[in-house]
Chain A
Amino acid sequence: GAVVSQHPSRVICKSGTSVKIECRSLDFQATTMFWYRQFPKQSLMLMATSNEGSKATYEQGVEKDKFLINHASLTLSTLTVTSAHPEDSSFYICSANPGSGNQPQHFGDGTRLSIL
Chain B
Amino acid sequence: AQSVTQLDSQVPVFEEAPVELRCNYSSSVSVYLFWYVQYPNQGLQLLLKYLSGSTLVKGINGFEAEFNKSQTSFHLRKPSVHISDTAEYFCAVSKTGNTPLVFGKGTRLSVIA
Residues of chain A having any CB pair with chain B under 8 Å: 6, 32, 34, 42-46, 49, 93, 95, 97, 99-110, 112
Nearest CB of chain B from residue A51's CB, rounded to whole Å: 11
Interface residues of B in 59-113 (CB under 8 A from A): 90, 94, 96-98, 100-106
A44 to B97, CA, bound (A): 17
Find chain B residues with CB under 8 A from A32 CB. 98
Q: Which of A43, A46, A103, A108 contacts B97 (CB 8 A)?
A: A103
A46 and B96 contact, CB distance less than 8 A: no
Pick from A32, A43, A46, A102 the residue with the most CB of B within 10 Å: A43
A-B contact list, 12 entries, CB within 8 Å: A34-B101, A43-B103, A44-B44, A44-B101, A46-B100, A46-B102, A97-B98, A101-B97, A103-B97, A104-B46, A105-B94, A109-B43
B46 and A44 contact, CB distance less than 8 A: no
B44 and A104 contact, CB distance less than 8 A: no
A62 to B4, CA, bound (A): 21
A42 to B94, CA, bound (A): 19
Find chain B residues with CB under 8 A from A6 CB. 43
Q: Which of A34, A97, A100, A112 contacts B41 (CB 8 A)?
A: A112
Interface residues of B in 36-69 (CB under 8 A from A): 36, 41-46, 49, 51-52
A109 to B36, CA, bound (A): 13
A46 to B96, CA, bound (A): 16
A102 and B42 contact, CB distance less than 8 A: no
Which residue of the partner chain B has the closest CB to A104?
A: B49
